[in-house]
Amino acid sequence: MTKLHTKLVLLTLASTTLLGLASPIMAQELKKTPDLTKDFSQTQASQASSFTMPSGYPEELNSLTEDTRSYVVIDQDTHKVLMEREGNKPYPIASMSKIMSVYLTYKAIEEGKIKLDDKIKTPESIVRDFTDNAELSNAGLVTDAEYTVQDLLYGIMLASGNDATTLLMSHIYGSEQEAVAAIRRQLDEWGIENYEFYTTSGAPNKYLPESYWIEGSTKDSQNKMSAADVALMAQYITEKYPQILELSSAREYTMAKDSDHPIKMANNNLLLEGAQYGRPGVTGLKSGYTDEAGKCFVTTTTENGRKMIAVVMGVQEPYSSYEETKILLDGLNKHPELYQLEGLATNLLPTQAEKEAQAAKAAAEEAASKAQAAGSKEEDVENLPNRRNNPFTNFMRSIFGIFN
């Protein structure tokens, strides 16, 4: 073997070694007898986790009523779930949906897109598709009549007017479909994910012409949400725009008061002070009723000096959602110590912004960790001992002139 061949073999061996995520209108809702027999187990309800009450929770609070399918009572200051039954399972919410339309109206006012005294003309299509529809609760709008934004807000909250809701939302967003898309975006921003929203008014698709349906929805589509998420939605709305409570606590209101077609409306919230189930701290908020939703109500109140939101859903005949709410709140008031109980779950969810910030933080931490690991490897390589300074390499250097 020549010296050149010997050098090549030795260099080859050395290289291998070194490589190695009209008359007063009341909010009637739909004129249906509740049918709560429909099985929702195949929808999100089957996928929702349940709230678990901690040790020391008063057992009698779990059996105050058997006539409400789902309910929660939430402490607004802490978001603690003080009482619940299937409170985290989505069910039809009917006209409780309308508070989202009120929220978006106040948001549009805040952004300067509309004003409370703006007048909106009623097209014939709204009267035909909503006001004249006996299946729906309506404010009683008149074709070509003009109503102010404030009139329509009262028509939504006191008369639960599907006509008022759709007219106002279509005026702001251009169509029912765009308004629903805006509602969905807002719910997403609040971190509410386990919901279905198809109409601004809460009326099921089956009562509306298909021209109002959003893409991908069907005749059976209807708004659904859990009681806990309805409470969270109501809290965001009332804290951002407390003027909604002026609407919901008004005893009566007359739309288009000085016109040829005034519409007088009365508040049918029987929890307002002086009413049948009245309480001094109640300020609102909104009822809901369809055949599948049953009787529903979201209440804003102050109990024992603390702000509360109570939501009852799926109340069966012949019982009243107002009476059921009273039973729950009366029971709660017997246990003032409950507010201090450790281990109560909350209905608060991380907002979209918080989730994005958390994801960005996690990504940054992962990148930093990888960079640190890479730097550590480079440091390890730099700190390797000099293996060239040994008797063998020194011998080869002296003979062949390699490893220099």
Q: Which residues are annotated as a binding site for substrate?
A: 286
Catalytic residue among 80, 98, 295, 326: 98
Instruction: Kindly give the pairing relationship between strand 252-255 and strand 119-121.
Output: unpaired
Catalytic residue among 97, 101, 160, 248: 160
Question: Binding site residues, as ranges?
Answer: 286
Task: Tell me if residue 95 is catalytic.
Answer: yes
| CA gap 165, 95 in Å, rounded | 10
Catalytic residue among 70, 95, 217, 320: 95
Task: Tell me if residue 98 is catalytic.
Answer: yes
The catalytic residues are 95, 98, 160
